[in-house]
Structure 1
Amino acid sequence: MPLHEPSPYEVLGVPITAGAREINLAVSPALRAGRYTRQQIQDAAGLLRHPDRRLEVDLQQPLPPEPVDHAAELLAPALAEPLLVVDRPRLPPADSFLALHRAELAAEFAEPAPAGTDPEPPIPARFAADLSVLPQIEVPE
């Protein structure tokens, strides 16, 4: 079973430019070929004989591509240059790279200690609470 519905031109085996006479003459050979049912052949011939319906079919179906002679010559200017040009950024100088010791890297990604097993670390003196951070409060007498 075909994946698409054949066009009336395919059913009758006539070109898109076929006239009424060619369509009428193509019905008998199409019936003898037996590739399509009698109903499909009659429907295709009736559709192509009717100018308005034929125009509708012609507008719905794309034209087959015309063969191109010397395709390589036509494509030569486009293929002369590379199809994809990738500009890669230059690498920075070697002395600008940061070097990490394995111990530093391991310390950064180490699993945190489970909560409650170690006492809390002491707070540095510079972050300790003192009166300098509190607003002035007037105490009533």
Structure 2
Amino acid sequence: MPLHEPSPYEVLGIPLTAGVREINAAVGRATKAGRYTRQQVQEAAALLRAPDRRLEADLQQPLPPEPVDQAAELLAPALAEPLLTIERPAQPPAAALLALHRAELAADFADPAPAGVDPEPPVPARYAADLSVLPQIEVPE
């Protein structure tokens, strides 16, 4: 599976500046080469023959990636050193380590005891709900 969708120019094997005669000649060569299906070759040729569709495709199609022959030489300085170095601190001596048991930690994480018998504080009488807080309702006769 190719990494990118082949452009019509790649399908026909022609340069970006190819004219209609070059497109027509390339159709036969591309069909005989067999790299692409007949339908792909015909669609590529039809697209490149129509000037408005060709311009639209040229604007939307990114250029294929350029091959890099000297990739190993270009990357050699970066690959000379390890990409990621992890410096780990030295482990402390065993005598400096502290062992905690679960029973010792239980008191630290226990829920606090309730302060009083009634968990909710009493509401002062002046804030208690009575009939004065209700809206006036007219009762029909």
TM-score (norm 2): 0.51
Report sequence identity in percent.
69
CA RMSD of aligned residues (A): 3.8
Aligned to 1:114: none
1:70 is matched with which residue? 70
Alignment of 1:1-40 (within 5 A): 7-12=7-12, 14-20=13-19, 21-33=21-33, 35-37=36-38, 40=40
On the 8 A contact 1:23/1:45 being kept in 2, the answer is yes
Alignment of 1:74-93 (within 5 A): 74-93=74-93
Mean CA deviation greater in 79-88 or 15-24: 15-24
Contact 2:11/2:44 (<8 A) preserved: yes
Report the Cα offset of residue 87 of structure 1. 2.4
Give the structure-1-normalised TM-score: 0.51
Whether the 8 Å CA contact 2:27–2:41 is kept in 1: the answer is yes
Post-superposition shift, 1:48?
A: 1.1
Shift of 1:32: 4.5
The correspondence of residues 45-60 of structure 1 with structure 2, limited to 5 A, is 45-60=45-60
Give me the whole-angstrom Cα distance separating, in 1, the residues matched to 2:16 and 2:54: 11
Would you say the 8 A contact 1:47–1:53 is kept in 2? yes
| Structure-1 residue corresponding to 2:43 | 43
Shift of 1:18: 4.3
8 Å Cα contact 1:47/1:54 also seen in 2: yes
Shift of residue 51, structure 1, vs aligned partner = 3.6
* Displacement of 1:84: 0.7
Q: What letter is aligned with 2:37?
A: Y
Looking at structure 1, the residues matched to 67 and 79 of structure 2 have their Cα atoms a distance apart, in angstroms, of 20
Separation in 2, partners of 1:41, 1:76: 41
Corresponding position of 2:94: 94
Moved over 6 A (4+): none
Distance (whole Å) between structure 1 residues aligned to residue 49 and residue 68 of structure 2: 31
* CA displacement at 1:76 relative to structure 2: 1.4
Q: Look up the SS of the partner of 1:42 in the other structure.
A: helix
* 1:81 Cα deviation after fit: 1.6
8 Å CA contact 1:30, 1:36 repeated in 2: no
Kindly state the Cα deviation for residue 68 of structure 1 after the two structures are TM-superposed.
1.8
Per the TM alignment, residue 99 of structure 1 is displaced from its structure 2 partner at its CA by 4.6
